[in-house]
Chain A
Amino acid sequence: MSERLASKPRSREKPERPRRRRIDPDWIRRNGVYVALVLLLAINVAITDNFVSDATLRLQLIQVTPVLIVALGMALVIGTQGIDLSVGAVMALAAALIPLYIGYGTGVAIAIAVLAGGVSGALAGTLVARIGVQPIIATLGIMVAGRGVANLFGGEIKSIRDPGMVALGSGSLLGVPYVVVIAAVVAAVTWFLVRRSNFGRQLVAIGGNKRAAELGGLPVPRVLLTTYILCGLLAALAGVLLAARSQASDPTKVGLLVELSAITAVVLGGTPLSGGQVRIAGTIAGALLMQLITATLIFHDIPDSTAQIAQAVIVVAAVYVQLGRRKARP
C-alpha cells in the first residue's frame, strides 16, 4: 500500500525531493473510511466466530443494499449542497405501492413504485430549484406528508407473494444475489455520472458555488431538479428491493431513519455536507462500514444501550480518522 503513497503525481516542472516516508495525513484523509473498514474487518476476523465465510460476506452485501442505494442518491444531492430527508418516506411509498399494482404484473408494479419516487423527487426538486426553499425543510415536509400518503395507499402491512418479487428478493445471478447485482449497477452508473458526464460536472459545480454556476450559464434549476429526481428514483428502488426481500410492505416501518444512515454513509465516505464534491467509492465504503458496525454489535449480542453508545463512538472515530488532521481553515 505504501507503493501507492509514493506514486502520487509529481509536478512536472520541479520534481520534488522525495519526502520522508511517513504516512501522509492527506492520504489518510482521503482513505480514512477504507482504513476504518479494513480495521473493523480485521477485528471481526480475529474475534468473531463464524465470521470468515462467504455466507457472512454475502449477507452483509445483501443487507447493505437498501441503505447503499439510498446513499448513492443522497451523495448526489449532498454534492449540490442539498440534503434529502424524504428518502425514508419515499422508500415506504414505493413499498406500499407494490402490493397495490402487483396484479398488473411484477414489472408494472415496480415501474409504478419507482416512478412514484421520481414524482416525489420532482416535487422536492421543484421546491428547492424553482421556489428556493431550503432543501432540509422542503424534504422534511415531503417526509412527513410522504409517509402519510404511503400509509393511506398501503394501509395495513401486506405480504407480497408474487413470484417475480420473491425471485428479485432472494434469487441470484451466478451466485451473486440480484439485489447486490442491482446495487452494483446503480453504483457504477452513479460513478460514471459523477466522473464522466456533463451532468455530474455541473452538479458538483453548483454545489461548489451556485452563484458562479449561474453566471457560468449552467442550467442550475434543471440540474438540481434532475438530482432530486434521481435521488427519489433511487430511494424508491431501495424500497422496492426491501419489499422484495422481506416479501412484505409495511409503510409505517420501511425506511424509518434511513435518511440518517444514508447521510452518515455519505459523510463517512468523504463527501462534505458543504457540497461541491461527490465521492462514490467512499460512499460505498461508508455504507459498508455502517453495515459492518451493526453486524458486529449483533454478532456479539450487545444490548441496545451499549450498542448505540458504541455506534456513536465508532462513527465519530471514523470521521475523525478521515478529517482529523485537516485544519478547519481554508
Chain B
Amino acid sequence: MLETEGVTKSFGGVHALRGVDFSLARGEIHALVGENGAGKSTLIKVLTGVHRPDSGAVRFAGAEVEFHRPAEAQRAGISTIYQEVNLVPLLSVARNVFLGREPRTRFGLIDTAKMNRGAAELVGSLGVDIDVTGELGRLGLGVQQMVALARAMSVDSRVVIMDEPTSSLEAKEVATLFQVARDLAGRGVGIVFVSHRLDELWRLCDRVTVLRDGRRVHTGPMTELDRVTLVAHMLGRDAGEVARGGATGFEGKHDRDREPVLTADGLEVRNRLHGVGLSVRPGEVLGLGGLLGSGRSETVKAVYGALPVRSGSVEVGGRRVRPNSVRHALRAGIALLSEDRKAEGIIPGLSVRDNIALAVLPRLSRAGILSERRIDELVDTFVRRLRIKVANPRQPVRELSGGNQQKVLIARWLCTEPTVFLLDEPTRGIDVGAKAEVQALIDELAGQGLAVVLVSSEMDELVEGADRILVLHDGTVTGELAGDRMTGAALLAALAGHAGSGEEGSDE
C-alpha cells in the first residue's frame, strides 16, 4: 500500500538513506528497526513529506506520490507519530488532539465543549485520566506520547506510522497501545512501528525491515527471526558474536555494605511529592519504579535541585546540600540525566563537543579562557568510550540521531565525575547495542563506587539492573523490593497493587 523504491537521502556529507526499498501491506504491522542513526526516522520523514528524497520513488495506494509537506501526506491518509513528541506544549491537550480538524458548531466556530468531550473520551479510552483542558506541556513525556497516539487515532487513516511511540511508556500503556494498533490493523490500516525495545516487536509485528547505515539489510516475517539474528542484522555482525549477550547488559549485583552516600528525606513538592525519602550507597543501583506520573521524574529532579521543594533535605556524604540549587547539587557530586532530551538536555545549535563539555567548562578553562586542547582530549575520550557516532565532534548535535544524542548527554554528565548519578530513562530511544553498552556502563560505574538512581519504564531494566527498587505511587513511596523479592512479577504486583484503586489487581 505504501512503498518506497531506491530511496536515497543525504544531509550534507551524511548518507542517511541509500537506496532503500520498503513496502507496507494493508492491515499489516511492520516493524522498522536498526541501530541509532540507521535512518529509520529519516525514512519515515521521507514517507510523510517532511524530507524529499534525493532520488527514488514513494508510492502510495499504487500511484507514485510526491508529498511536499506533511499536510499533504496527512490529507492522503497517512498519520504519523514522530519520534520526538511533536505536539504544542502551550496548548491544551484537547486542542492538541484536534488541531486542524476541530469539531464545529453550526456557525462554523470550534465547538469547544464537544472538542473537550471528544478528547477526554479518546484519551480516556487509552487509559489516561487527565484534565484535557490543561496545558500539554505540564504533562510528563509518557502522557504526552499517549496524547500523540490519541491524535493519530482520531483520524481515519489508511496508514499509521509510529516512530518509537513506546519509549516513555509504562508496561500498561504499552499494552493499551498494542491493543489499539491491533484494532487498527484489523480494520485494514497499515502500521509502521519503530522501537528499540526489541521484545515488543515479536508481541506486535507481522513483518520486519532492518536498516543498517542507511541500507536495507533484511525484510521478512517477524516469526522467522529470533532475537539474536535480528540483532546480528542490525549490527552487521555474526549471530554467534551477538548471542552471548543477555536481555540486558547488566551483569550482577554490587557491593552494598557501605554507608549511604546520598540520603534524601521528606521531599515535598506541591501537588507532586509527599515526603519522599531515599538513600543510595556507593556502588549501589537504586531503581525507582512507578506508573506514569507517579512522581519518579519529580523525585530525581527534586534531589537534583531542579524542582523547587517546599521542605525536605538532601545530603551527600553526610553534608547537607543547599536545596533548590542545581549548581550546589552538581558541586556536591550529583548529576541528573533528564528524561526529556529535547527540552532539557541537548543544546541543538551547539556542537557535539561543546554539548559534552558544557557542565565542566569552568574546569577546562584558566582565567576564564578555555583550553581547546583539553576539551578535545576529554571529548575524544568519551566519544570513543561511549561509541558516539559522529562525523566530526564539531558537528551540531541536532544532526545526530536520537540515540547518539542520548550518549552525548551521558558523556556530559560523566565529565562531571559525579558520586551520585540520577538516570531518568537512560536507555530511552537507544538501540540494542547501545542500550547494552549503557547498561554495562551503569554496572561499570557502580562497580567503581558510583551511586546510581535508575528510573526506567522497562521492567527488565529495573529488575536486572537495580540492587533495590523503590516503588512510588502518587508522589509517595509505597514499597521497596530487594533481594529475592525483586522479580518482575513482584514488581508488577507492587505497581498494580497500588494502582488498582480497590479493584482486584489488574488483568495483565
Contacts and interface: CB of A to CB of B under 8 A. Distances in A.
A198 B365 contact: yes
B227 interface: no
Contact of A201 (B13, B345, B370, B391): B370
A199 B362 CA distance: 9
Contact of B348 (A197, A208, A217, A218): A208
Given A219-B327, A330-B398, A211 B348 contact: no
A324 B370 CA distance: 34
Interface in B383-409: 391-392, 394, 398
Query: Most A CB atoms within 10 A — which of B347, B350, B392, B398?
Result: B347
A140 interface: no
A214 B359 CA distance: 10
Contacts of B362: 198
A196 B369 contact: yes
A209 B347 contact: yes
Contacts of A165: none
Nearest to B347: A208
Interface in A169-227: 196-199, 201-202, 204-205, 208-209, 211-219
A26 interface: yes
B326 A214 contact: yes
B370 A196 contact: yes
Contacts of B369: 196-198
A13 interface: yes
A9 B12 CA distance: 12
A144 B398 CA distance: 40
Nearest to A197: B368
B347 A212 contact: yes
Query: Most B CB atoms within 10 A — which of A9, A199, A208, A218?
Result: A208
Contacts of B327: 217, 219
Interface in A254-295: 276-277
B414 interface: no
Contact of B345 (A197, A199, A212, A218): A212
B174 interface: no
A329 interface: yes
Contacts of A12: 392
A211 B358 CA distance: 13
A204 B350 contact: yes
B116 to A, nearest CB: 29
Nearest to B327: A217
Chain B interface residue number, banded: 35 or more
B354 interface: yes
B121 to A, nearest CB: 33
B134 interface: no
Interface stretch (B203-211, B336-344, B457-465, B467-475): B336-344
B344 A205 contact: no
Query: Most B CB atoms within 10 A — which of A199, A204, A209, A276?
Result: A209
Contacts, number: 85
B356 to A, nearest CB: 11
A100 B338 CA distance: 55
Interface in B306-324: 306
Contacts of B13: 10-11, 16
Query: Most B CB atoms within 10 A — which of A10, A199, A216, A219?
Result: A216
B127 interface: no
Contacts of A13: 391
A204 B348 CA distance: 11
A90 to B, nearest CB: 25
Given A9-B392, A198-B370, A216 B349 contact: no
A26 B354 contact: no
B412 interface: yes
Contacts of B398: 330
B423 interface: no
Interface string B239-256: 000000000000000000
Contacts of A215: 304, 306, 326, 336, 338, 344-345
B365 A197 contact: yes
Interface in A15-51: 16, 26
Nearest to B398: A330
B354 A216 contact: no
Given A9-B392, A217-B330, A276 B347 contact: yes
Contact of A217 (B359, B364, B392): B359
B76 interface: no
B50 interface: yes
B350 A205 contact: yes
A195 B305 CA distance: 31
Nearest to B362: A198
A212 B391 contact: no
Contacts of B344: 211-212, 215
B306 A11 contact: no
Contact of A216 (B368, B370, B412): B412
A29 B437 CA distance: 39
B273 interface: no
Given A198-B370, A201-B370, A208 B359 contact: no
Nearest to B329: A217
B343 A211 contact: yes
B231 to A, nearest CB: 23
Nearest to B392: A11
Contact of A205 (B50, B330, B354): B354
A264 B273 CA distance: 48
Contact of B12 (A26, A197, A208): A26
Contacts of B370: 196-198, 201
A217 B359 CA distance: 6
A266 to B, nearest CB: 16
B346 interface: yes
A254 to B, nearest CB: 33
A209 B348 CA distance: 8
Contacts of B364: 198
A126 to B, nearest CB: 19
B361 interface: yes
Nearest to A274: B349
Query: Most B CB atoms within 10 A — which of A26, A204, A218?
Result: A218
Contacts of A209: 343, 346-348
Interface in B155-201: none
Contacts of B306: 214-215
Contacts of B326: 214-215, 217
Contacts of B12: 26
A163 B326 CA distance: 53
A198 B362 CA distance: 6
Contact of B349 (A199, A208, A219): A208
B368 A212 contact: no
A205 B346 CA distance: 10
Given A196-B370, A212-B346, A213-B347, 8 more contacts: A11-B13, A16-B13, A198-B361, A204-B350, A214-B326, A215-B306, A217-B330, A276-B349
7 cross-chain pairs, A with B, having the tightest CB-CB distances, nearest first: A208-B347, A276-B349, A217-B330, A11-B391, A198-B365, A209-B347, A208-B349
11 contacts: A16-B13, A196-B370, A197-B368, A198-B364, A198-B369, A201-B370, A205-B347, A205-B358, A209-B343, A209-B348, A330-B348
